[in-house]
Amino acid sequence: MNINMTLIGQSITFAFFVWFCMKFVWPPIVGALEARKKQIADGLAAADRGKHELELAAKRASETLHDVKIKAAEIIAQAEKRAGQIVDEAKNAAKGEGDRMIIAAKAEIEQETHRAREALRGEVAALVVAGAGRVLRREVDAKAHADLLEAIKNEL
Amino acid sequence: MSAEAHTSTEYIKHHLQNLTYGQLPAGYERGDGEVLQESTWTLAHTAREAKDMGFMAINVDTMGFSIVLGALFLFLFHRVAKAAGGQAATGVPSGLVNFVEWVVEFIDSSVKGSFTARNPLVAPLALTIFIWIFLMNLMDLMPIDWLPRVAGALGLPFMKVVPSTDPNATFGMSLTVFALVLYYSVKMKGVGGFVGELTLQPFGKWGMPANLLLEGVNLIAKPVSLALRLFGNMYAGEMIFILIAIMFSGGTVLALTGGVLQWAWAVFHILIITLQAFIFMTLTIVYLDMAHQEHH
């Protein structure tokens, strides 16, 4: 327990340690701590921002969805309207076509009737001539009585 | 040096003697009766030799242990500092890094709490004081015979393991702190301001001698109390460990009691060594804070 040169040696050692600590130990550690603090703060801020953006995006998405729904309803209404129109047009067209077909059929029927009547008329005239010929037991000269026969045919 | 050959007194004295290297004058009669022909640089083999070496001697154990412990502290912290600087705090900090950063933050908040001026020296100074003293005190928890026995086997006559039980170490630190206090007092207040602080209060300029006496005592008490508080605590703690260790040679019952006591005292001592390191650090901060203040 004697005071000796150790006192000075310890002072120098101590001063050196403090100097080394001040130069090479303290600043980097404190710097790293500051950097980490900043990093964490930045991270938290970024997370906040992200959350905010998420909220905005959700809001935008719901707005868009709402718009789209309205638009879809409009489109459906238009489509329905258009479908009704198309059906009406088709109905009208079909009706017109039917009418036309009926008219055409009627005309054809009339023609057929007419033709049948003509044919019938010819046959009836032939029958009449044949009948008359049998009745008269003689051959009627068709040529001689052509004008007569024609007159009868027209009367039929 | 077997334990049987020692009386209790010798055992205690042996444990309290530093391994001293110094010069013995010509014609000096050494402990073993040898008379030196010329002045010799040598290790002291007895307490008397160590005393007679005077001021020009050095306590090899104190210097050695304190330098090794300080280097260990700086090595660990410097490695963490380099790692922290290299990765720029990108990764998740691991065990040692966490511990070092925790200590640094603790010191930083202590300094910010007590030191109001701005000085980049104070925080590293506080960190060095705290960790270094803590490590030096920690040597006290090592069973007191281990290292001296090893040293004895290596042929070294003495080995005092705890540097902070050597007043040279504690005064070395406290005087360095005192030098800083004086330096910053003069730097912040000027020579006139500092002298004025010592002489013009608390009684005004007509009470100058009384002021000088009071303030002088106040000033001198700082390094003395700083060093003696640490030294006294560690010395007393070491002494109790030595006294407990003596019980080990007193039979089974005493040895068992001694074991329990040693364990209990060691647990309590964990508190003391941390507390002493913390007190030394805090008072250093406070003294430097006072040195920076214009008026107090």
Question: Among positive and negative, which fits the CA dihedral B43, B48, B54, B59?
Answer: positive
Contact A10 B172 (CB under 8 A): yes
pLDDT of A135 over the 80 cut: no
Angle at the Cα of B77 (from B71 to B83), degrees rounded to 5?
Answer: 130
How do residues A15-49 score in pLDDT, each as one tens digit? Answer: 999 999 999 999 988 888 888 889 889 999 999 99
Q: Which of A1, A4, A29 sits opposite B80 (nearest CB)?
A: A29
- Looking at residue B153, its pLDDT comes to 87
- Is residue A16 included in any domain, yes or no? no
Neighbours of B168 (CB within 10 A): 27
Answer for the pair B255, B115: CB distance below 8 angstroms, yes or no.
Answer: no
Position B109 scores a pLDDT of: 93
- Are B124 and A3 inside 8 Å of each other by CB? no
Query: DSSP letters along B180-233, please?
Result: HHHHHHHHHHHHHHHHHHHHSTTT-GGGHHHHHHHHHHHHHHHHHHHHHHHHHH
Number of domain units in chain A: 1
Q: Is pLDDT of B28 > 90? A: no
What's the DSSP call for residue B165?
G
* Mean pLDDT value of segment B77-84: 84
The whole-number pLDDT of residue B52 equals 85
pLDDT score at A140 = 59
Proportion of chain A above pLDDT 70, given as a percent? 95
Tokens of A31: 């710097």
Residue B238: which domain range?
Answer: 3-292
Question: Whose CA is closest to A36, among B78, B80, B128?
Answer: B80
From the list A11, A21, A39, the residue facing B128 with the nearest CB is A21
- Distance of alpha carbon B65 from alpha carbon B35, whole angstroms: 32
Chain A contacts to B (CB-CB under 8 A): 1-11, 13-15, 17-18, 20-22, 24-33, 35-36, 39
pLDDT of residue B2: 45
CB contact (8 A) between residue A1 and residue B100: no
Residues in B closer than 8 angstroms to A35, CB to CB, are 88-89
The SS3 call for residue A152 is helix
- Taking CA–CA distances from B109, the nearest residue in chain A reads A30
pLDDT-based confidence at residue B31 (cuts at 50, 70, 90): confident
CA of A47 vs chain B CAs: smallest distance (Å): 17
Q: Are B277 and B106 in contact (CB under 8 A)?
A: no
Residue B86 has pLDDT above 80, yes or no: no
* Number of domains, chain B: 1
The answer, yes or no, to whether residue B288 has pLDDT greater than 90, is yes
- Which H or E run contains B40? strand B40-43
Active site residues of B: 225, 229, 233
Instruction: Pick the most confident of B8-12, B13-17, B128-132.
Output: B128-132
Find the closest chain B residue to A34 by CA distance: B89
Instruction: Report ipTM (2 d.p.).
Output: 0.88
Omega cis (within 30) before B209:
no
Three-class SS state of B250: coil
Question: Over pLDDT 90: what percentage of chain A?
Answer: 60
Evaluate if residue B296 carries a pLDDT over 60. Answer: no
Residue at A53 is within a domain:
yes
**Domain residue limits at A142:** 38-155
pLDDT for res B295: 61
- Bridge partners of B275? none
In a domain, A11, yes or no: no
Question: Does A53 or B295 have the greater pLDDT score?
Answer: A53
CB pairs under 8 A between A and B: 141
Number of Cα atoms under 13 Å in the Cβ half of residue B7: 2
User: What average pLDDT is seen over chain A?
Assistant: 89
Q: Report pLDDT digits (tens) over B229-283.
A: 999 999 999 999 998 988 888 888 888 999 999 999 999 999 999 999 999 999 9
Query: In one letter, which amino acid is B186?
Result: V
Spatial separation of the C-alpha atoms in residues B105 and B130, rounded to whole Å:
13
Inform me whether the pLDDT recorded for B115 exceeds 80. yes
Average pLDDT over residues B59-74: 93
CA B122 to chain A, closest CA, distance in angstroms equals 9
Kindly determine whether residue B63 and residue A6, on different chains, have CB atoms separated by under 8 Å: yes
**Residue B89 in this model has a pLDDT that exceeds 70:** no
